[in-house]
Structure 1
């Protein structure tokens, strides 16, 4: 499973004929081997790689354990992850194993069927996301992981919701944080926008839907869309939308909105938190402007 020095259990070394006193001597400070965890040895004296740490953790937790949390999400290709370096493992509830060193052990009666990712038994994405979100340093990190998992089609939002509801001791903040994701938000900024719109008193907003003109030509995929009055709300970051191809694409998008008769409001993500009252006032003004003119012939698909 790993390149470089082998990770192996002490009992297995003894079965291969290596005396225990030899193992301890070679694992002493300055020795040629390294004791990574109780009963687990690296046959080398360097720093273990992430893969060697995972392999050591699984050896420590024994058969039936599986990887979850941030380390599991890396194996699925998620990128927007908090800096949590320990190896988070799920083990059967009856197993008397505790956390140690770089391994965080979680005993559970809800042990899912694992997926094999690069040779490692790994919790399914919804379980790994919620396990990681429970230990995230802040709520934004939790929302970012949930949003990325849904946006990039690693799982359905309903699967995350089920995972949350089946955890009787889940942090209530995660239930609250999940609401924008269920509503269609695809990022932390969109989640902030979802919450702000929900408090605005304006009609329903749809998120990340595709809008077409009367001839069936694609107009845009706005962050938020109020179909009642054909109002688009774009959460446009300065860094992403102001340079190079992104800037040209934003200008082209806005030109299509204008040609189709769509009213569009652009908001910087930072203002959703720093100036929420001002943004709500702008939303209401944009809605009134859109309501006063005849609704253009644009539709969702």
Structure 2
């Protein structure tokens, strides 16, 4: 699982014939080994890698422990994660063990069946997301983790809801973060847009729906779509949509909207928070504009 120096339990070293006094001496300051956690030794004196810390945490927590939280999500390829050196592990509720050093030990009666990711018993994505979210104070990062897990098809939004519901302590903060994701939002900006739409009094919007013209040709996949009047809302960041191929793709998308007769409102993500009332006025005005002309012959699919 790791490269370079091995991570070994003290008991295992003793089984291999290394006297305990030799282990302690080699783990002294400036020694050739390092004691990473109580009873867990790195057979080297350099800084432990992330993999060393994970392996040491699981050895410390003993057999049956499961990696969860941000480092578990990292093993699934998720990127929008809190920056933390902690290793979060789950152990059976009856196990007498507590957090120490870089390992955060959580006793649970709902120990998940782990998946093996690069040799490590790892919590399924929904559990790991909620475990990470519970320890993340930044609400935007909580939404981002949930959205990325869903967008990359690691889980359905309902699986995240089940994880929240099955916890013994109600957490309204996580439910509030999840509501836009259940509604179809795929990012923090889309969650902000979803929350603004809820305030707008406008008819139902669908999020990230694919729109096709009368001939069945793909038009676009708007962030928000009001099928009642054929109105699209795009949350377009300046940095992403103004450069190179992204700029050309945005121009081509807008041309397809025009050719299909679709009214589209483009909004910078930053304005959803800095000027929410102005954005609401623009959203309602664009909707009324779409409402005044005949609905274009387009459909979602």
TM-score of the pair, normalised by structure 2: 0.99
Cα RMSD for the two superposed structures: 0.6
Aligned twin of 2:10: 10
SS at 1:105's partner residue? Answer: strand
Partners of 2:84 and 2:202 lie apart in 1 by: 39
Q: Can you give the 5+ residue segments of structure 1 that lack an aligned partner in the other structure?
A: none
Say yes or no: does 1:177 pair with 2:177. yes
The correspondence of residues 215-294 of structure 1 with structure 2, limited to 5 A, is: 215-294=215-294
Q: CA deviation at 1:80?
A: 1.1
Contact 1:134 1:170 in 2 (8 A): no
Deviation at 1:170, TM superposition (A): 4.2
Task: Describe the SS at the equivalent of 2:104.
Answer: strand
Q: Deviations over 1:74-111 (max 9, x none)?
A: 00000111102210000000001100000000100001
**In 2, Cα distance between equivalents of 1:170 and 1:240:** 38
Aligned counterpart, 1:144: 144
CA separation in 2, counterparts of 1:137 and 1:161?
A: 19
Distance, in Å, in 2 between the alignment partners of 1:222 and 1:13 is 60
Q: Over residues 252-278 of structure 1, what are the superposed CA-to-partner deviations in whole Å (9 max), with x where a residue is unaligned?
A: 000000000000000000000010100
How big is each residue's C-alpha offset from its partner over 1:190-243, in whole Å with a ceiling of 9 and x where there is no partner?
000000001111000000000000000000000000000000000000000001
SS at match of 1:54: helix
The answer for the alignment partner of 1:194 in structure 2 is 194
Partner of 1:23: 23
Aligned counterparts of 1:201 and 1:168: Cα–Cα separation in 2: 35
Contact 1:82 1:141 in 2 (8 A): yes
Which residue in 2 is equivalent to 1:131? 131
Aligned length: 301
**Which residues of structure 2 form unaligned runs of 5+?**
none
Structure 2 match to 1:55: 55
Aligned partner of residue 200 in structure 2, secondary structure: coil
CA distance in structure 1 between the partners assigned to 2:64 and 2:169 by the alignment:
23
Runs of 4+ in 1 over 2 A off after TM superposition: none
Contact 1:78/1:148 (CA < 8 Å) preserved in 2? yes
Cα distance in 1 for residues equivalent to 2:48 and 2:250 = 46
Change (3 A) 1:188 1:66: same
